[in-house]
Chain A
């Protein structure tokens, strides 16, 4: 039986993306875990079972914030050829996306405040579809700019309104 499979795209995000994603996750996870612990400490009579529950919850939050970005880094990959943009995402649900160069409408780079600290940028590629744009996250910002410039050049050379 002949099998067909999608090969993983060639490139990964910049290694700094792991720290960025971790920082981002911690910004969310630390207050949540802290609030849970504080509520337990201040508003309850410290029953042991609740303490275990709250502790477990806080631990899970922090563990996810640390482990999640590492898992994402291993899974998220991207590749740009002369003909197409190809990305892979997702840990439980794998998602591969392909957009042909001839159908790309806009190419954007974006840098959030935290992202800037790490010298990273996202590249967003939009096609005419309402299914949503393709985003390549956590690239070195110079690489991202270069990639966006190249994509724009190729896209502009393609005639038609890409629908």
Chain B
């Protein structure tokens, strides 16, 4: 394929977006000039000139950027030349592409454009991502499909392919050779997105609706008519294989349906407020509004406002404090709901089948052995986002249950995948998020589907792990309590009084600062009255009555959260008192073990087994597992890796280690270790 430019419509987008910079600047200009008693006519003229200059500047830069940017897709690589000032040429091998992320804010959406980010693995460095900002929706969609199709390299023509066949007869998943670049014949589909078909029917649905969404997103380029909307699945299959030039060619080239695994159900919105942000609502709102208000000359955090608020609060505390708390929570809950609606409106989790010819089984819990499909998360009410993950880059799945969500019976699912970046600035969701908060049972169902097999049931950990947590909670609460009580006794025995009179440490501190403050008469009287002592005893009581039960609850919850399991394909590790995380890690994705045993763990017969992996956090831990169980677990999860380093004693000694079905690429030959 020859070098391609970015679409010119991008200029219009940046013109619109530059208004975002114009508004605050003009506000400041108007304020300043108005203070200097300029006439309104002059002010308007100056503001207009400023606005035109800003827009022109930004558009001019965009013109330069568009001129400087070229990209192309060849048989082996995706190449990008860019840079206005310093020229760059970046080239990514196609087999390195692990995820494709499409993102279109409302402005770009209106112009039928979308920003494409291509993830290539690597840990958070700049070069892990290649950004095409923007492409037309149809280009982006074709690129996404071709990059992650697993198509053999020669299935892609190096020249712009010719439009073939009547567009209306095309299947959505036509092969890359057929899809005409730039003018991809995406058919405008009548079927609106989410037209109320029953969920169970999703697997048999063709991808027409999928494309319909693209068309309504992009609009512009779609052509052809929806003449053949009535097509049954068989007809569409026939249509695509009839074109004959699909990857596999012939009948094997027939495309399978896109399978919708989950889609948004509005009742899930009830889980949205179950985050800590709901309690920090007003503070969050203030934080967001601070800058614009400041630009307008409203000082939020000045001494006067603080005094005003304080006076208002202390005047009638029994009325104002509940009002403030309720207002805070209301703002937080509203914010959480709005964010949920914006982030997850139109949410769908889909699995696109892989290369034709691979065996496929679309039963609800029987995932095909071949892992060459793609997972796609689409969401966003205003800003539409689409993340496509290559299934072969998936190393597992994680179910996350933060405390509040867990108490509400909800959970969320994230992917453990290689080549996913960190969350972007201004983005409310984790990049790897596969679902919004949803009911636990649903989360488990989706997790099992994504993981590609039933998740093993977690086995609880030994009681020693609970004792350890309870002991830690007791220490955390009792040590401060004892220290405070000792301080109270010291005050009662006149220690504080003597100290404030300027002996010992007070004198050594040079008579300044703390010493002189404590030496004043008021403070001494306060201490002599016993008021200080009463305060300290109050703190002791608070620690024992509030902190101790809370710490014990967290300890018990932490123990309950512990668990591990080994399935045919996955190692399951669960832990976390506040945020409970259940990770099912593909055994084939384990690239090593780290086993740690602290002094306390050693005495309790526990250890922590940590599976290292290229995906996600880099390591997933089975915390505080019994020593024997943990080592056996590691030995069985990746057969042959740990066995040479284990010594077995007791009745089982001498027996070969029990190794269960090895996963595909973990077949490390277990020869005897040769010393080096």
Chain A residues with CB under 8 Å of chain B are 1-7, 9-11, 79-84, 86, 90, 92-103, 127-132, 134, 147, 150, 160, 162-163
Contact = CB atoms under 8 A, between A and B. Distances in A.
B646 interface: yes
Interface centre among A98, A101, A134, A147, by most B CB within 10 Å? A98
B593 A94 contact: no
Given A4-B647, A7-B647, A83 B619 contact: no
Given A2-B628, A4-B632, A81-B674, A95 B646 contact: no
B591 A83 contact: no
B373 to A, nearest CB: 18
B596 A94 contact: yes
Contact of B595 (A10, A95, A131): A95
A128 B673 contact: no
B591 A129 contact: yes
Contacts of B631: 4-6
B645 interface: yes
Contacts of B197: none
B641 A97 contact: no
B656 interface: no
Given A4-B648, A98-B641, A131-B619, A83 B610 contact: no
Interface string B629-663: 00110010010111011111111110000000000
B668 A83 contact: yes
Interface size class of chain B, counting residues whose CB lies under 8 Å from the partner chain: 35 or more
A99 B595 CA distance: 12
Contacts of A127: 591-592, 612, 614
Interface of B: 121, 123, 418, 589, 591-599, 602, 610, 612-615, 617-619, 627-628, 631-632, 635, 638, 640-642, 644-653, 665, 668-671, 673-676
B628 A3 contact: yes
Contacts of A92: 598-599
Q: Which 7 pairs, one residue from A and one from B, show the smallest C-beta to C-beta distance?
A: A130-B618, A2-B652, A128-B614, A81-B673, A2-B650, A129-B612, A103-B591
Contacts of A94: 596-597, 602
Contacts of A84: 641, 644-645, 668, 673
B305 to A, nearest CB: 45
B250 to A, nearest CB: 31
29 contacts: A2-B653, A3-B627, A3-B648, A4-B628, A4-B632, A4-B648, A6-B646, A79-B645, A81-B644, A81-B674, A81-B675, A83-B641, A83-B668, A83-B671, A93-B598, A95-B595, A96-B593, A97-B592, A98-B593, A99-B591, A99-B612, A102-B668, A127-B592, A127-B612, A129-B591, A130-B123, A130-B617, A130-B618, A163-B591
B673 to A, nearest CB: 4
A86 B596 CA distance: 13
A10 B652 CA distance: 24
A9 B647 CA distance: 12
Interface centre among A79, A83, A95, A150, by most B CB within 10 Å? A83
Given A79-B673, A99-B591, A127-B592, A6 B645 contact: yes
Given A1-B651, A3-B628, A99-B591, 11 more contacts: A3-B650, A7-B646, A82-B673, A83-B669, A84-B641, A93-B599, A97-B595, A100-B591, A100-B668, A127-B591, A160-B665
Contacts of A162: 591, 614
Interface centre among B614, B652, B670, by most A CB within 10 Å? B614
B674 A82 contact: yes
A7 B645 contact: yes
A129 B595 contact: no
Contacts of A4: 627-628, 631-632, 635, 646-649
Contacts of A7: 645-647
Contacts of A10: 675
B50 to A, nearest CB: 47
Given A2-B651, A4-B627, A163-B614, A79 B676 contact: yes
Contacts of B640: 83
B644 A83 contact: yes
